Amino acid sequence: NNHTKTPQFPSTCCYCGVGCGVLVSKDKNNNITLIGDENHPSNKGMLCSKGMNLHYTVNDRSDRLLYPQIRYNKNMPLQRVSWDDALDRTAAVFKTFINKYGPDSVAFYVSGQCLTEEYYIINKLIKGFIGSNNIDTNSRLCMSSAVVGYKMSLGEDSVPICYDDIELADCFYVTGANPAWCHPILWRRVEAHKAQNPEVKIIIVDPRKTDSCAIADLHLQLNPGTDVTLNHAIGKVLIENGDIDFGFISNHSQGFDAYQAIVFEKSLEESAKICGLAIADIKLAAKYIAQSKGFISMWTMGLNQSSVGVNKNLSLINLNLITGKIGKPGSGPFSLTGQPNAMGGREVGGLSNMLAAHKDLANPVHRKEVQEFWGGKEISPNPGLTATEMFDALEEGKLKAIWIICTNPLLSLPNVRKAEAALKKAKYVVVQEISDKSECLAYADVVLPAAAWAEKEGTMTNSERRITYLPKIVDAPAECLPDAEIIKIFAQKMGFKGFDYQNQEEIFIEHGKLTANTNINIEGLTYDILKKHRSIQWPYLKHKKQQTKRLFIDHQFYTPSKNAIISPVPDVFKSERPNADFPFILTTGRIRDQWHTRSKTSKVNKLNQHIKQTFLEINPIDAAQLSIKNEVVVTVNSNYGQVRVKAKITDAIKQGVVFLPMHYGKILNNDLNRTNNLTSPLLDAVSKEPDFKYGIVNVVKY
Ligand code: SF4
User: Residue 182 carries which side chain, given as an amino acid letter?
Assistant: C
CB 289, CB 171: distance < 8 Å: yes
Nearest CA among 216, 200, 671 for reference residue 420 = 671
CB 63, CB 55: distance < 8 Å: no
Over the stretch 224-234, which tens digit does the pLDDT of each residue have?
999 999 999 99
Alpha-carbon span 660 to 412, nearest angstrom = 13
- Whole-Å CA distances, 520 to 121, 128, 364, 564: 18, 21, 20, 18
Mean pLDDT, range 374-380, rounded to an integer: 96
Alpha-carbon span 369 to 683, nearest angstrom = 32
Over the stretch 279-319, which tens digit does the pLDDT of each residue have?
999 999 999 999 999 999 999 999 999 999 999 999 999 99
Could you write out the three-class secondary structure of 112-180?
CCCCHHHHHHHHHHHHHHHCCCCEEEHHHHCCHHHHHHHHHHHCCCCCCCCHHHHHHCCEEEEECCCHH
Q: How far is the CA of 163 from the centre of ligand 1 (A)?
A: 14
Helices 268-275 and 279-291 pack at an angle, to 10 degrees, of: 100
What atom of ligand 1 comes closest to residue 47's alpha carbon?
6
> Does 301 contact ligand 1 (Cβ within 6 A)?
no
> Does 51 contact ligand 1 (Cβ within 6 A)?
yes
Residue 581 banded pLDDT, cuts 50, 70, 90:
very high
Q: How far is the CA of 628 from the centre of ligand 1 (A)?
A: 36
145-335 to CATH, choices 1.10.287.3510, 3.40.228.10, 3.40.50.300, 3.40.640.10? 3.40.228.10
* Residue 291: other Cβ atoms inside 10 A: 13
Q: How far is the CA of 36 from the centre of ligand 1 (A)?
A: 10
Nearest CA among 201, 110, 50, 156 for reference residue 409 = 110
What atom of ligand 1 comes closest to residue 15's alpha carbon?
8
CATH class of 584-701: mainly beta
Which alpha helices (H) appear in 198-328, and where do they start and end? 227-240, 246-252, 256-263, 268-275, 279-291, 301-304, 309-322
Over the stretch 378-437, which tens digit does the pLDDT of each residue have?
999 999 999 999 999 999 999 999 999 999 999 999 999 999 999 999 999 999 999 999
> Does 22 contact ligand 1 (Cβ within 6 A)?
no
Alpha-carbon span 414 to 411, nearest angstrom = 8
Q: Would the pTM of this model clear 0.90, i.e. be above it? A: yes
User: Residue 348 carries which side chain, given as an amino acid letter?
Assistant: V
Which alpha helices (H) appear in 501-548, and where do they start and end? 504-514, 527-533
Note the pLDDT of residue 343: 85
In a mutational test of the pocket of ligand 1, which residue from 14, 44, 185, 300 has the highest number of ligand atoms less than 8 Å from its CB? 185
Note the pLDDT of residue 558: 97
Alpha-carbon span 38 to 536, nearest angstrom = 16
Question: What residue segments make up the domains of the chain, in order of their start?
Answer: 8-59, 69-142+349-463+471-501, 145-335, 584-701
What is the fold, at CATH topology level, of the domain defined by 8-59? N-terminal domain of TfIIb (2.20.25)
Task: Return phi, psi of residue 527, to 5°.
Answer: -60, -35
Q: How far is the CA of 575 from the centre of ligand 1 (A)?
A: 32
Alpha-carbon span 363 to 356, nearest angstrom = 12
Across the strands, what pairs with 507? none
Alpha-carbon span 264 to 277, nearest angstrom = 18
Nearest CA among 385, 395, 383, 450 for reference residue 421 = 395
> Does 13 contact ligand 1 (Cβ within 6 A)?
yes
Q: How far is the CA of 55 from the centre of ligand 1 (A)?
A: 13
> Does 18 contact ligand 1 (Cβ within 6 A)?
yes
Name the closest-CA residue to atom 3, ligand 1.
48
Mean pLDDT, range 612-639, rounded to an integer: 97
Alpha-carbon span 382 to 191, nearest angstrom = 46
H and E: helices and strands count for the chain: 24, 26
Q: How many residues does the chain have?
A: 702
Least confident range of 1-15, 585-599, 662-676: 1-15
CB 497, CB 468: distance < 8 Å: no
ipTM (interface predicted TM)? 1.00
Name the closest-CA residue to atom 6, ligand 1.
51
Sign of CA dihedral 143, 430, 371, 393: negative
* Residue 610: other Cβ atoms inside 10 A: 13
Could you write out the three-class secondary structure of 308-320?
CHHHHHHHHHHHH
Q: How far is the CA of 513 from the centre of ligand 1 (A)?
A: 30
Helices 364-374 and 504-514 pack at an angle, to 10 degrees, of: 150
Nearest CA among 89, 88, 49 for reference residue 73 = 89
What atom of ligand 1 comes closest to residue 19's alpha carbon?
7
Q: Across all residues in the chain, what is the average pLDDT?
A: 96
CB 522, CB 516: distance < 8 Å: no
Alpha-carbon span 376 to 362, nearest angstrom = 18
| pLDDT greater than 90 at residue 7 | no
CB 590, CB 181: distance < 8 Å: yes
Alpha-carbon span 435 to 151, nearest angstrom = 36
What atom of ligand 1 comes closest to residue 18's alpha carbon?
7
Mean pLDDT, range 97-114, rounded to an integer: 97
* Residue 611: other Cβ atoms inside 10 A: 15
> Does 20 contact ligand 1 (Cβ within 6 A)?
yes
Over the stretch 73-101, which tens digit does the pLDDT of each residue have?
999 999 999 999 999 999 999 999 999 99
What atom of ligand 1 comes closest to residue 183's alpha carbon?
5
Region 69-142+349-463+471-501: CATH code: 3.40.50.740
Alpha-carbon span 183 to 41, nearest angstrom = 15
- Give the gyration radius of the chain's Cα atoms: 24
**DSSP designation for 639:** S
> Does 48 contact ligand 1 (Cβ within 6 A)?
yes
User: Residue 284 carries which side chain, given as an amino acid letter?
Assistant: L
Q: How far is the CA of 211 from the centre of ligand 1 (A)?
A: 17
What atom of ligand 1 comes closest to residue 51's alpha carbon?
6
Angle at CA 61, nearest 5°, toward 4 and 46? 50
> Does 56 contact ligand 1 (Cβ within 6 A)?
no
Alpha-carbon span 591 to 593, nearest angstrom = 6
Alpha-carbon span 419 to 391, nearest angstrom = 6
Q: How many CA atoms lie within 13 A of 13 on its CB side?
A: 34
| pLDDT greater than 50 at residue 573 | yes
Mean pLDDT, range 480-509, rounded to an integer: 97
> Does 17 contact ligand 1 (Cβ within 6 A)?
no
Nearest CA among 500, 675, 684 for reference residue 587 = 675
Residue 575 banded pLDDT, cuts 50, 70, 90:
very high
> Does 174 contact ligand 1 (Cβ within 6 A)?
no
Residue 3 banded pLDDT, cuts 50, 70, 90:
very low
3-state secondary structure of 101: helix
Mean pLDDT, range 201-213, rounded to an integer: 97
In a mutational test of the pocket of ligand 1, which residue from 22, 23, 50 has the highest number of ligand atoms less than 8 Å from its CB? 50
Q: How far is the CA of 13 from the centre of ligand 1 (A)?
A: 6
Residue 447: which H helix or E strand, with range? strand 446-449
Nearest CA among 6, 318, 362 for reference residue 154 = 318
Angle at CA 543, nearest 5°, toward 541 and 546? 70
Nearest CA among 583, 604, 578, 585 for reference residue 593 = 604
Name the closest-CA residue to atom 4, ligand 1.
20
> Does 302 contact ligand 1 (Cβ within 6 A)?
no
Alpha-carbon span 269 to 480, nearest angstrom = 61
Note the pLDDT of residue 667: 85
Note the pLDDT of residue 338: 85
Name the closest-CA residue to atom 1, ligand 1.
51
Angle at CA 296, nearest 5°, toward 291 and 300? 140
> Does 46 contact ligand 1 (Cβ within 6 A)?
no
> Does 185 contact ligand 1 (Cβ within 6 A)?
yes
